[in-house]
């Protein structure tokens, strides 16, 4: 084996295709004559227990390549939060002869990758775009890996809910993931023909009352009743929470937050809040509309990746190894149609210095088509 090793770490929430990505990196590194060290349970695991730095081989990862979840685990953790963590990480990298680091994650992990490339002397850093939210600004609006697999699973689940709604004459209020963008909700809703889709891009953050959301769903229920349809699916992204003003939901101020200071969306049952408010909304209460709720969240993050993501992640692994061996650092690997490319992370920073994210444009044809497919409610 050649001098210097690759390190690979998964950061943030799971997404379909992680194992395929890890396999691709390890396999390409092996072919080039390099060992790869995996960080079990992310940066948090490695910094809390050096034994969680393990040697990886393609043969070890191969049985998990087409499976969901993460062989290496993951964590939400900032190893540069203070000098103690930073020094510990630098020492671990040095002791394990890791001079090429691959970080798999979303926008927060992309920013961390940029910071690592600036602060870790002698370490080349590559970032691979992972998020089912699809909120990373990739070339040609290409999705981040995991999005298409999550959409496929979300469609399968929501399609059965729609069949149940039609059969039992009820409405389902369905929440899906999407902290900052509504791409996933829009993609699932368009595919199954949801009666109404609500995404955070349609509202100003922190400025709308809950009653405005209730009114919109209620209007849709009433409109479909006039068409003789006593059923439907209202689909919305979890990021809708950020759009509600504090007066509407004061309880949000006391809710738990993650290590990055963000609301733990999984612990806030927005779908139940909407159901309870709709049940006492006069027009809905008078009609005795049957309302059920469903949160499709964790089911999407660790489903098996579809062929699209299995192919896509091979591009990403190849690109990470190739560009790191070329001496590049501080970049995100991207797919440019049938070619592998990269984007400098420094060029993706917004005015605050963080990595910019993308949202659904209300002027886009994607949004226009989605709105035209939904009855005006």
Q: Tokens 């970049």: give the residue.
A: 331
CA angle 70, 239, 261 (to 5 degrees): 70
Active site residue 133: yes
CA–CA separation, 130 vs 113, rounded Å? 13
Count CA within 13 A, CB hemisphere, residue 220. 24
Tell me, rounded to whole angstroms, the distance of Cα 276 from its chain centroid: 28
- Is the Cβ–Cβ distance between 87 and 120 less than 8 Å? no
Active-site hit among 27, 41, 99, 133? 133
How buried is residue 266: exposed, middle or buried, by Cβ count under 10 Å (0-12/13-18/19+)?
middle
Positions annotated as catalytic residues are: 133
């Amino acid at each position: 084996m050649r001098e210097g090793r690759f390190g690979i770490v998964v950061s943030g929430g799971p997404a379909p295709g992680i194992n395929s990505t890890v396999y691709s990196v390890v396999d390409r590194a092996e072919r080039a004559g390099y060992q790869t060290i995996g960080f079990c349970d992310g940066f948090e695991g490695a910094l809390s227990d050096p034994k969680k730095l393990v040697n990886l081989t393609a043969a070890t990862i191969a049985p998990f390549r087409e499976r969901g979840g993460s062989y290496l685990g993951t964590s939400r953790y900032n190893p540069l939060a203070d000098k103690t963590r930073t020094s510990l990480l630098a020492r671990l990298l040095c002791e394990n002869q890791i001079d090429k680091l691959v970080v798999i994650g979303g926008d927060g992990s992309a920013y961390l990758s940029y910071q690592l490339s600036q602060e870790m002397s002698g370490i080349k850093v590559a970032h691979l775009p992972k998020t089912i939210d699809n909120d990373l600004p990739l070339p040609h609006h290409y999705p981040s890996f995991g999005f298409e697999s999550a959409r496929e699973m979300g469609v399968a689940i929501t399609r059965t809910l729609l069949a149940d709604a039609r059969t039992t004459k009820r409405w389902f209020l369905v929440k899906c993931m999407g902290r900052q963008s509504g791409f996933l909700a829009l993609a699932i809703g368009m595919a199954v023909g949801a009666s109404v889709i609500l995404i955070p891009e349609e509202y100003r953050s922190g400025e709308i009352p809950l009653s405005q959301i209730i009114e919109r769903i209620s209007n849709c229920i009433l409109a479909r009743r006039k068409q003789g349809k006593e059923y439907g699916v209202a689909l919305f992204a979890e990021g809708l929470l950020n759009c509600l003003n504090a007066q509407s939901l004061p309880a949000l101020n006391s809710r738990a937050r993650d290590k990055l200071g963000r609301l733990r969306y999984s612990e806030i049952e927005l779908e139940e809040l909407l159901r309870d408010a709709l049940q006492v909304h006069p027009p809905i209460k008078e009609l005795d509309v049957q309302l059920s709720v469903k949160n499709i969240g964790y089911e999407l993050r660790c489903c098996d990746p579809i062929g699209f993501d299995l192919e896509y992640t091979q591009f990403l692994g190849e690109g990470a190894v190739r560009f790191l061996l070329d001496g590049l650092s501080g970049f995100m690997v991207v797919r440019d149609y049938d070619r592998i490319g990269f984007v400098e992370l420094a060029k993706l920073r917004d005015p605050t210095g963080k990595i910019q994210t993308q949202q659904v444009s209300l002027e886009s044809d994607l949004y226009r088509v989605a709105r035209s497919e939904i009855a005006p409610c």
